[in-house]
Amino acid sequence: MTQPILEVRGLTCERGERTLFQGMSFAVEAGSLVRIAGSNGAGKTTLLRLMTGLMRPVEGEILWRGTPILKAAQDFWRELCYIGHRNGVKDDLSVIENVLINARVASLKATREDARRALAAVGLAEYEDVPAGQLSQGQRRRVALARLWLSESVVLWVLDEPFTALDVKAVARLSDLISKHVREGGVVMLVTHQEVPVDKSQLHIIEPERWAPRRRSAVERAMDDAAAAEAENALNAGA
């Protein structure tokens, strides 16, 4: 039996006075797409942040290659590419400067030519020297996502709604890249409603609500839906 590359054991997380999930456990092998699914407010983004070590669970642990991620520290982070809701784009820098700085922060070796190829892949080849502050929200998102084209050697990708604010062509390019990464033995964990073409044997669907100690009321769900819709509308407004 193949040893799992990623394991979640007995994970419990609280937000405020509410327990989002309790005793969550699952394991995935290399060459897997892990889609975090469920309704708004179920803890999908929280789970992603736990997977990166940005948050700590109340109980349980996350293991990467058999070692708890907090213990593995730098060894784990070198194998991680995380892109959350925030694009991390500096308005006063040019598009290509943002790509190169993001690569440097992530300890990726990238030349200016590598950055140009990444920008071409996300449809921003003609924006290389444009100040990022002049871009739409969709274009800023693509600047952040360009790092994925420089991270093909990084095994674990953790992505929070990566397809949001992208046009049809950009969605297709990103979907193809994610599929390729999985086929080549990488692990991609993401929150998305977008279908990504992978073999069924490579797809794992994790629903945090399965481990929730209680069901949310209709009022709680409605409030979470409204907050999510407001955030998405704000992001798409400048796309």
Summarize the confidence of residues 119-147 as an average pLDDT.
Answer: 93
3-class SS at 13?
A: strand
Residue 141: half-sphere exposure toward Cβ, Cα within 13 Å: 23
The model's confidence at residue 229, banded by pLDDT at 50, 70 and 90, is: very low
Give, in order, the Cα–Cα distances in Å from 19 to each of 114, 144, 216. Answer: 44, 32, 11
- Does 220 have pLDDT greater than 60? no
pLDDT of residue 195: 87
Structure tokens at 44: 């999908």
Could you read off the pLDDT of 8-51 as tens digits, one per residue?
999 999 888 889 999 999 999 999 999 999 888 889 999 999 99
- Does 227 have pLDDT greater than 60? no
- Name the pairing type of β-strands 6-15 and 203-206: unpaired
- Name the pairing type of β-strands 203-206 and 32-36: parallel
The model's confidence at residue 231, banded by pLDDT at 50, 70 and 90, is: very low
End-to-end CA distance of the chain: 46
Could you read off the pLDDT of 158-199 as tens digits, one per residue?
999 999 888 888 899 999 999 999 999 999 999 998 889 899
Angstrom distance (rounded) from CA 36 to CA 173: 21
Residue with tokens 């789970």: 47
Higher pLDDT, 72 or 220: 72
- Does 94 have pLDDT greater than 80? yes
pLDDT of residue 9: 97
Could you read off the pLDDT of 99-112 as tens digits, one per residue?
999 999 888 989 99
